[in-house]
Structure 1
Amino acid sequence: MEFRSGFGFRNLPGMLVRDGASWLVRLLYPPVCAGCGLFVAGSGALCSHCWGSVRFIERPFCEVSGAPFDHDLGAGMVSPDVIANPPPYEKARAAVFYDGAARKLVHGLKYSDRADLARMMAGWMIRAGREVLDDSDVIVCVPLHRRRLFSRRYNQAAELARAIARLTGKPFEAGGLRRVRATRQQVGLGLRARQDNVRGAFAVPAARQSGIAGRRVLLVDDVLTTGSTVEAATRALLRAGAQRVSVLTFARVASPGGETLYA
């Protein structure tokens, strides 16, 4: 006899084995808070304390740069900085401020081999960047230079981009952008020094230009500070024929001097 739902008693042994294996995994590796390591109910979650420290970026913010406003200036408003220095990208969006538990998530993904965090972080990015995601044809990420990639073993921006692609069905053009010149770490550099540091550092390989030319590109990175890196990367994509470029990051620094622990 079988249930109308299609469940058969002949499937029961296999289901018991799978459930038993899942129970054993949970017993040996209980889910912990991604921010502080305390035990939580499910994987990919934050405890109440860490959750309370996350500051999601909501409107009002600049329609172009995504920089938050102190008060609502009305629909479609842009910041004075964007008016004075228009960025090459169409729009930039970020999910959270780079502080509290969000900062720990970035460091875990970037420095502690916590690639498992990418899916949760990507979910937050999708929520914050739905408008730029829907208006994009392909996803690329800000690349690491091959020497830094070798030392870190993986590119955290690529992990985020890959997770976003899997969750949304958007194609990810891995290798669509290359860092052709090694650069200094941006920590401690002023705006002009940051711009000089990444100028000409990116290029689209000739073999990848067909995946970029004429397409609306979404550029993904982990943290936006002054915007120098994503602007340099955007210019490289536009030179390769991208129709336009939008930017989506997990976090953004509230003020350019607030990233002293970020490399």
Structure 2
Amino acid sequence: MLESARDVAIASLVALRRAVYPPACVACGALTDSEFALCGPCWREAGFLLGALVCDSCGVPLPGQDDGPVQCDDCLRRPKPWSRGRATLPYRGTGRRLALALKHADRSDLAKPMGRWLAAAARPLLSDEPVLVPVPHHWTRLLRRKHNQAQLLASEAGRHLGCPVLPDALVRRRATKSLGHGGREARAAALTDAIMAHPRRGAALRGRAVLLVDDVMTSGATLSACAEAATLAGAADVRVLVLARAILEP
């Protein structure tokens, strides 16, 4: 908890510095040559996954090299309710700081570079001209945070990809507690019947390939609930795209 508070405080200081001394690294505030960029050390620490061997289902990085689609052990044991997935970077170091800043420090400016990174990671998922659908927030959480970070990311990624974005095709009909510290089963139970297709606008998912967008994937419980809701609404295929992928211990 203290570590998260420290990360948010750093992100707020970075935002203040950027308002007075542009251009600066979006992660640490060090001077950079261009706007909305990372400095050299933060870029190296980020460990971008573009071009790396990753699980074709959940996007988690894998050791070794392989020419074809591969899946991690967890996805082989517990198949996901979506077909393919990608992440931009691992949820640690730079990736963790950026994700927390977007979520908790009112750093909506971060969606601009993040959307560009997401668009690059999404390239293998673009067959069948998918629509981008952000993971929904409950209205009470929107009041507290002022924005849905998944919607900000989806809008920016969609702009780069030329793909339509359906910001309210899915809705969260009841509030859920933070899932950050629960186990896999607890996370899944907390989301039972929490997410559904919008009674009217969810019809736009029928027959379409859907690309779900979120900021962080941990166990995948939230994305699973969204994928199941999209499938029930008639989506032809569901894929997932996240900014950061947490690497869980087996």
TM bin (shorter chain):
0.7 to 0.9
**Radius of gyration: which is bigger?**
1
Aligned to 1:157: 150
Distance in 1 of aligned mates of 2:127 and 2:198: 26
Secondary structure of 2:65's counterpart equals coil
Q: Distance in 2 between matches of 1:111 and 1:63?
A: 30
Q: Distance in 2 between the 1:103 and 1:225 partners?
A: 12
**What amino acid is the match of 2:213?**
V
Which residue in 1 is equivalent to 2:174? 181
**Residues 136 and 218 of structure 1 are in contact (CA less than 8 Å); yes or no, is this contact kept in structure 2?**
no
Identical residues among aligned pairs (%): 37
User: What TM-score, normalized by structure 1, do the two folds share?
Assistant: 0.83
Structure 1's consecutive aligned runs of 4 or more residues displaced over 6 angstroms after TM superposition are none
TM-score (norm 2): 0.87
Matched position secondary structure for 2:200 = helix
Q: Greater shift after overlay, 195-204 or 54-63?
A: 54-63
Q: Which moved more, 1:182-191 or 1:99-108?
A: 99-108
Amino acid in structure 1 at the alignment position of 2:46: V
| CA distance, structure 2, for counterparts of residue 86 and residue 121 of structure 1 | 28
Aligned partner of 1:209 in structure 2 is: 202
Kept in 1: contact 2:119–2:158 (CA 8 A): no
Aligned residues: 232
Structure 2 equivalent of residue 30 of structure 1: 22
2:35 to 36, 43, 46: 43
SS of match in other structure, 1:247: strand
* Distance in 1 of aligned mates of 2:212 and 2:20: 38
Residue 24 of structure 2 aligns to which amino acid in structure 1? V
Q: Partners of 1:59 and 1:33 in 2: how far apart?
A: 24
Verify the 8 A CA contact 1:31 1:39 in the aligned structure 2. yes
Q: What corresponds to 2:192 in structure 1?
A: 199
Q: Kindly state the Cα deviation for residue 74 of structure 1 after the two structures are TM-superposed.
A: 5.2
Structure 2, unpaired ranges of 5+: 1-17
Q: Please, what is the CA RMSD of the aligned residues?
A: 1.9
Shift of 1:219: 0.3
Shift of 1:135: 3.9
Gapped regions of structure 1 (runs ≥ 5): 1-25, 258-263
